[in-house]
Amino acid sequence: MTLRVLCAPDKFKQACPAARAASAIAAGVADAGGTPTTLPLADGGEGTLDVLAPAFPQRVAVRVRGPLGTPVEAAIGLSADGRRALVESAQACGLWRLEEHERDPLRTGTLGVGDMIRAALDAGAVEILVGLGGSATSDGGAGMAVALGARVLDAAGRDAEPTGGGLLKARALDLAGLDARLRRVKLTALCDVMTPMLGEHGASRKFVVQKGGTTRALHKLEEGLALLQLAAQQAGINLKGTEPGTGSAGGLGFGVAGLLGGMLRPGADAVLDLLDFSRLLRETDLVITGEGSYDAQTAEGKLIAALAARCQAAGVPLCVLAGVVAPDVALPGVTAAFGIARFGARKQDNLDETEANLRRASAQVTRLLRARR
């Protein structure tokens, strides 16, 4: 009897997008005599627009502001009937937009995300999904709100710069000018992690280094986000910034839920539902997934955690293939996790060989399970 394998990885950062990873895994499954089905996945961050193409087949090109405020070319997705829109925030403010020397969350902002939401409103969407993750920013969504008509004011009543560092001058919020169409649409943020915005385990403390910030910047960013939350509270917004998901994409979750009045949802679960994962799982003997690093962050709302919960409930084994597998991660629902990096190879060589390594590892897993059937 053939082994039906669902090849459902996330992207491998700096190596390959989810679609290529899925194809590589499928090739390995076929090499070993299994029957593969590919399902590239995402968690709301970079690559979500491509992964959700079946649900949002139309593309609208938009010119928006990048993380440093300079114009960049981006795209939003629309459903076949044009009533639903998908905005991938990383298209505008993603870390991938910047060279390493340009990365500084004190200087970056989310104006471009607001530009994309406005484009979705202009296209006539009545429901907008905003994918969060992979951002170069830590502005609490202030830039996004400003692009949609809000004002962040300093102590003298002047406009404060809507960047991570600019929030240090924030003393008040004026939301009167927000685009009125926002009140008539359903707005949902797809959070790649369910991290809070503020506190010991908040966005600044956990992600400042990968965004190019320093320890000194960490304290400034935390203070700026706290000042934004205080200004929002004074404007009648009840979010404390400690709610799960508010820290996604440098506080962009707080911006969508608090400043724009939207909702927060784990991005991985939303993506799985939009791609009808439950139906595919009923026709599957094994799921093989993967990501660049399988570590402590995986359990915090990442894609593999969502997959693990669903596979466990369905009684389907789940195998994780990752560039790096942390030894102390034991996620319920994950049957086995294997590092695919070639022993002794340089990091860059392993990155370059990700697809070949995935193919080899998935073939080995498939042979093992076929031998047990």
Kindly tell me the number of DSSP H helices and DSSP E strands found in the chain.
13, 13
| Segment 345-366, tens digit of pLDDT | 677 766 778 999 999 999 999 9
DSSP 257: I
Tell me the CA distances in angstroms from 339 to 12, 34, 346, 361, one per residue in order.
13, 21, 15, 9
Write down the pLDDT at residue 345. Answer: 67
Q: What is the pLDDT of residue 174?
A: 97
Query: Average pLDDT for residues 165-185, to the nearest whole number?
Result: 97
212 pLDDT higher than 90? no
Tens-place pLDDT, residues 241-266? 999 999 999 999 999 999 999 999 99
Q: What is the pLDDT of residues 264-277, one digit of tens each?
A: 999 999 999 999 99
Question: Residue 123 pLDDT > 80, yes or no?
Answer: yes
Topology of the domain comprising 4-41+275-371: Rossmann fold (3.40.50)
Measured distance CA(231)–CA(235) in Å, rounded? 6
Determine the pLDDT at residue 250: 95
Q: Name the pLDDT band for 288 (thresholds 50, 70, 90).
A: very high
| Cβ-proximal residues to 325 (8 Å cutoff; 6+ apart), any chain | 294, 295, 337, 338, 339
Compute the average pLDDT of residues 101-126. Answer: 97
Q: Residue 81 pLDDT > 90, yes or no?
A: yes
Position 285 scores a pLDDT of 96
Q: What Cα–Cα distance (Å) separates residue 25 from each residue in 44, 46, 251, 304, 321?
A: 22, 20, 34, 16, 9
Segment 68-95 shows an average pLDDT of 97
For the chain, give the number of residues.
373
CA angle 306, 327, 18 (to 5 degrees): 40
Bigger pLDDT: 213 vs 311: 311
Give me Rg for the CA atoms of the chain: 21
* Statement: residue 156 has pLDDT above 90: yes
pLDDT category, 199, cuts 50, 70, 90?
very high
pLDDT at 59: 97
Please state, rounded to an integer, the average pLDDT across all residues of the chain.
93
Torsion (CA) 324, 23, 193, 335 in degrees, nearest 10: -60
Checking if the pLDDT of 66 tops 70, the result is yes
97 pLDDT exceeds 80?
yes
pLDDT tier at 216, thresholds 50, 70, 90: confident
Closest alpha carbon to 180 in 215, 148, 202, 204: 148
Does the structure show a pLDDT above 80 at 84? yes
Burial label, 291 (beta-carbon count in 10 A; 0-12, 13-18, 19+): buried
Within a 10 A sphere around the Cβ of 234, how many other Cβ atoms? 11
pLDDT of res. 249: 95
Going by their DSSP bridges, the two strands 186-191 and 318-325 should be labelled as unpaired
Confidence of residue 301 (pLDDT cuts 50, 70, 90): low
**Pairwise CA distance, residues 3 & 191, whole Å:** 33
Are domains 4-41+275-371 and 48-268 of this chain identical in fold? Answer: no
CATH numeric code, 48-268: 3.90.1510.10
The pLDDT score that the predictor gives to residue 349 is 66
pTM attached to this predicted model: 0.92
Domain ranges of the chain: 4-41+275-371, 48-268
CA distance 215 to 200: 14
Q: What is the pLDDT of residue 324?
A: 85
Residue 218 scores a pLDDT above 70? yes
Task: Give the C-alpha separation, 323 to 60, whole Å.
Answer: 34
Which helix (H) or strand (E) covers residue 109, if one does?
Answer: none
